[in-house]
Chains A and B, each alone.
Chain A
Amino acid sequence: MPSFKLDGQDIPFEPGETIIAAARRAGVDIPHYCWHPGLSVAANCRMCLVEVLPPAGRKAMMLDVLEWDADKQDYVPAKKPKLVPSCQQAAGEGMEVASSSSEHVARARSAVQELLLLNHPVDCPICDQAGECRLQDYWLEHQGTKKRMHDEIVHKPKGVVFGPTIVYDAERCIVCTRCVRFCEEVVKDPVLEKRERGNLSEITLAPGRELDHGYTLMTEHVCPVGALTARDFRFKARVWFLRSAPSVCMGCATGCNAYLDFDPRDDTVYRHRPRENMAVNQYWMCDEGMLDYRRVHEGRLLAARVRGKKATLGDALEKAAGVLSGVDPERLGVVLSAQHSNEDNFALLRLGRDYLGTGHIYVSGRAEGLGDPVLKHADKNPNAAGVTALCTSTPPKTFAELAKDIHDGRITHVIALGSYSSDATKTEALGKLQGLVTLATREGPVAKHATVVLPVSSWAECDGTFVNAKGMAQESEKAITPRGDSLPGWKLVAALAKQLGLPMAWTKLAQVRKAMAPEAGATVAHATGAEA
């Protein structure tokens, strides 16, 4: 692979690749605002300017500028090289590029930084971007001087509601047009545009429109400053109190790689945001997915129930074992869940199929929804492929088939994972069961009809593996401690097995994974998780 030198370091590049992109791949960050690896090049922020040294024997293009000579009390002519934006300049074999090692680059960046903050309100104490704002970071790294403009700043519209999810502050905006380009190039819905000129420039909505496509929260995510804020997140948390766990989005079968941002002090998840994975979601996530973190806290089932009454976990396990013991395996159904991890499903499958001896395996999940050509999959479950892969010999039957089997009297007892019914019209059949043990994260139709309900931790509270529609097994890591009395599904299954006197002595996730390995098939993909 050809290479060039950046501040003396060899950087390999693909032909046609820009300096900034090649440097990023090599782990060197050239400061930038407007450039984004997933968007077209705008080259407008001028933060990524670098000095490309001329080939040997050639002179650099020099520009005439002025310096003030305090001794002479007069201006003296000065020269400076023409700098180039590294986001636009293609790398060349043997090219010598000075970024952090050039005094001219340092001065240009300092100037850009000062100019970006010139008419900025510097309202960091009330800005949600504070703590993850490039204006702050780069001020420390590249400027560090006090403001030299002491007049009133240029005032522009503030608190402009762009749509159901986003609020815009033009005074904080650096007009990098990342949001404009994102809507146009990724979503193909050019709803944002620039208006006015010069230092009055601002982002505006297309006439008669709202920012209401399916990826509006991404505009806030690509915004490098606090100009666009999410109505869902603003004023809720300070980012320096948050920690991030690499997770997988539970919204659909695409399995977008994400971060769950949570506050460890109160075990609360505040935000879901994309984590780069070029093989899955690139840099993006949809609104549905980004707001899906709410399912960690909303509609949760946090305590065990026996016949509708709250119970301790111990009592409930005892009752559940009572429901299941002595049941004819031919009348017992096992319902796996496309909403739950491979580990949870595998544990239940092992219990029902291998120990209790039933061959009646079903799968439930959320009903189909709308997909789109960008990321959204019509299958709104994160692990349908994983469940299918676990049931190696015969594919699991549907929820509708379960309803029919109950109706026909073939199934009298069920042990189910998850609370979604896949088909709302078929849930009544559950009422006919003689016994129903449900291991569920959320309230739902299955939990409603259950004899015994055992509370399962959500994906945010335990590690788990999910297989997306492309067949990629992806790990999602634990963020917060299990809420309420909940436990990871596989742990509950193991506890239930123990109650039933069965030898399923798993106490660690690693044991489950080891047992599962030959059956899960797919390899686990680890994402890079770099920041754009």
Chain B
Amino acid sequence: MNEKANLQEIRRQVYLYYTEDGLADISLGLVILGFGLLLLLDMPAFVGVLGLIPLLIWYLGKGSLVVPRVGSIQPGRALKKRFLGFFINLSLIGIGVLVLFLLGRGAGESFFSMYSLSIFGFVLALGISSLGLLMNAIRFYFYGMLVFIAMAGGELLMNSISAFDPFLMGVIGAGMVIVAAGLVYLTRFLGKYPVIDLEG
């Protein structure tokens, strides 16, 4: 029905507000890149700090680049419910995998201990893809796939390559690709939407 399709188009444009500027891509890419670099520098204790990256980019980027061009919105009740449902589901998946991982560790040479990095990559990919589903942004499915392939491939190649750590190189490479894609989206966004001068 046309009317339904049009309301769906309105919703699509609302989701676009959150993804069109590429800031979500850049944040995600920097978190993955930072994760790889911290492990490479043997500083895993600082991984928690990576959580600040999206907040910082969101606060600075939205305020100075996005709002003067496309304004700001407050999501309605249905959208808020969708966001909340997403975070609850994602948290449950995370807790479930953590439990399985901990149970697997106690079982010696189990599947979980043998392929822990691939499983971690799979969960991460699931989370990234869910973000794509939530935001109606197909490219996040590809990011999820890229991260999984980088992590699982790196883990598989670990024993055959000794010159460098293929897992870490895969993670860093995936992060760089996602940041680069985000920068392309941001550049396109800045070109498409000029600053709207409300005082002019």
Tell me whether A and B are bound partners. Answer: no
